[in-house]
Amino acid sequence: MLHRGVTLQRRPRRVSVLSVHTSPLEQPGTGDAGGMNVYIVETARRMAQRGVEVEVFTRATSSEHPPVAELAPGVLVRHIAAGPFEGLGKNDLPSQLCAFTAGVLRAEARHDPGHYDVVHSHYWLSGQVGWLARDRWGVPLVHSAHTLARVKNAALAAGDEPEPMVRVIGEDQVVAEADRLIGNTESEARELVELYGADPGRVVTIPPGVDLDRFVPGDRAAARRALGIAPGAVVLAFVGRIQPLKAPDVLLRAAAEMLRRDPGLRARLVVLVAGGPSGSGLAEPTSLQQLGASLGITDVLRFLPPQRGAGLVDVYRAADLVAVPSHNESFGLVALEAQACGTPVVAARVGGLPVAVADGRSGLLVPGHGSGQWADALRAALLRRDVLGAAAVGHARRFSWDRTTESLLDTYAGAAAEFAERQGVPAGMIAL
């Protein structure tokens, strides 16, 4: 769905980005850091390269965090003290929104009126703060949900806790107030309209991207040497946060089924898991290792901490396949990154993954989470690995952070034009 607003030629000078519960400076793959962190970092850097100043407000989680840190030239991260530095999960943070909002408003108050041209909130907690900042600053609010409680609750992993009602209500409020709502896919855009009553005229579909300079095909043998993996191994990889929602257990169960069907595979199979416990997974941080032991596959399991930079690229290049078995995924950046490196993806047919993965061309989509289904799909993808891998690169190149950033800047300008019209200010007077 595309907005009906008029896009101005002039872009924002300065953007306020709100990310209450996780800092863009944190390592994706553990804690609450994941695809949203990557999204904020990559788009903020590219906005700055286009001459737009970006200030990211996030909650300070350590006394060692400086009040202001430079993420990149033109991108500042402001750490706001709101509650204790440690020991607060996402479900505890609503009680600190008042303190966080006060910190954001005080920072803006040190500048002349009109310092920010737009506020972009990420996740519902930030949307609550953005709603107040929008009214105080007189600028449009653009909101990215990233995940939606009603969607997550409809597809819970076994034993996972449903999202609380306070979040559902909070999302309803933000959807009603935001000047623009950004969905990663057409499916998410429809969910905003059908499940939350969003005005279709305020919903914009902007797919995330992938860093096409970093994630490129490379020497698989060299990547395997860097990770200590044998050249002839069959490598199935999972990259991401270890929690029920992301379902790494599905890959382990499927691997056990593959070994049951073909015992000779054991000598070559490596199941590579790169990530750290997160969310409800923090309650049982060794649950995946315990599951591997109970399945009798400890000998083929290899665990790595969350990877960044060249280490992450090596994981993708070393793998024959990357599995994304999530129960819910608003898009799935891991799938794009892997494909950009020439590695096919086997993913669950949920959320935005049917967009991130071209079923039958760049990978395979699985309609459920049963170990037999996944074993079948993994084996089928392995047999077509080279053909799927070649097509995966082309598919991933349809997505880029530059394209995402350009669409965001157009969206900001359109939201500002409509906001000004509602306020009775001629569009030509907007400071964009």
**pLDDT computed for residue 352 by the predictor:** 94
* DSSP labels, 39-86: HHHHHHHHHHHTT-EEEEEEE---TTS-SEEEEETTEEEEEEP-S-SS
33 annotated ligand binder: yes
116 annotated ligand binder: no
Q: Which run of H or E residues covers position 228?
A: none
Q: What's the angle, vertex CA 28, arms to CA 26 and CA 31, rounded to 5?
A: 75
Q: Per-residue b/e over 364-400, b at no fewer than 16 CB within 10 Å? A: bbbeebebebbbbbbbebbeeeeebbebbbebbeebb
307 annotated ligand binder: yes
Task: In whole angstroms, give the CA distance from residue 170 to residue 26.
Answer: 25
Task: In whole angstroms, give the CA distance from residue 86 to residue 418.
Answer: 41
User: CA dihedral defined by 350, 394, 391, 218, rounded to 10 degrees?
Assistant: -110
Contact between residue 358 and residue 398 where contact means Cβ atoms under 8 Å apart: no
Contact between residue 70 and residue 318 where contact means Cβ atoms under 8 Å apart: no
316 annotated ligand binder: yes
CA distances from 382 to 227, 254, 283, 305 (A): 21, 14, 34, 26
Contact between residue 126 and residue 120 where contact means Cβ atoms under 8 Å apart: no
Selection from 29, 28, 104 nearest residue 60 by Cα: 104
pTM: 0.90
Question: Domains in the chain, start-ordered, CATH in brackets?
Answer: 14-209+401-423 (3.40.50.2000), 220-397 (3.40.50.2000)
328 annotated ligand binder: no
Cβ-proximal residues to 41 (8 Å cutoff; 6+ apart), any chain: 24, 71
Contact between residue 195 and residue 158 where contact means Cβ atoms under 8 Å apart: no
196 annotated ligand binder: no
pLDDT in tens, the chain (432 residues): 444 444 444 789 999 999 998 888 887 665 666 789 999 999 999 999 999 999 999 999 888 889 999 999 999 999 999 988 876 777 888 999 999 999 999 999 888 888 999 999 999 999 999 999 999 999 999 999 999 999 999 988 777 889 999 999 999 999 999 999 999 999 999 999 999 999 999 999 999 999 999 999 999 999 999 999 999 999 999 999 898 999 999 999 999 999 999 999 999 999 999 998 865 545 567 889 999 999 999 999 999 999 988 999 999 999 999 999 999 998 999 999 999 999 999 999 999 999 999 999 999 999 999 999 999 999 999 999 999 999 999 999 999 999 999 999 999 999 999 998 887 765 443 444
35 annotated ligand binder: yes
How many C-beta atoms lie closer than 10 Å to residue 155's C-beta?
Answer: 16
Q: Per-residue b/e over 269-298, b at no fewer than 16 CB within 10 Å? A: bbbbbbbbbbbebeeeeebbeebbeebebe
286 annotated ligand binder: no
411 annotated ligand binder: no
Task: In whole angstroms, give the CA distance from residue 291 to residue 344.
Answer: 26
CA distances from 404 to 40, 43, 102, 130, 333 (A): 11, 7, 31, 21, 13
27 annotated ligand binder: yes
134 annotated ligand binder: no
Task: In whole angstroms, give the CA distance from residue 382 to residue 399.
Answer: 25
Contact between residue 122 and residue 36 where contact means Cβ atoms under 8 Å apart: yes
**pLDDT computed for residue 1 by the predictor:** 46
Task: In whole angstroms, give the CA distance from residue 22 to residue 428.
Answer: 36
36 annotated ligand binder: yes
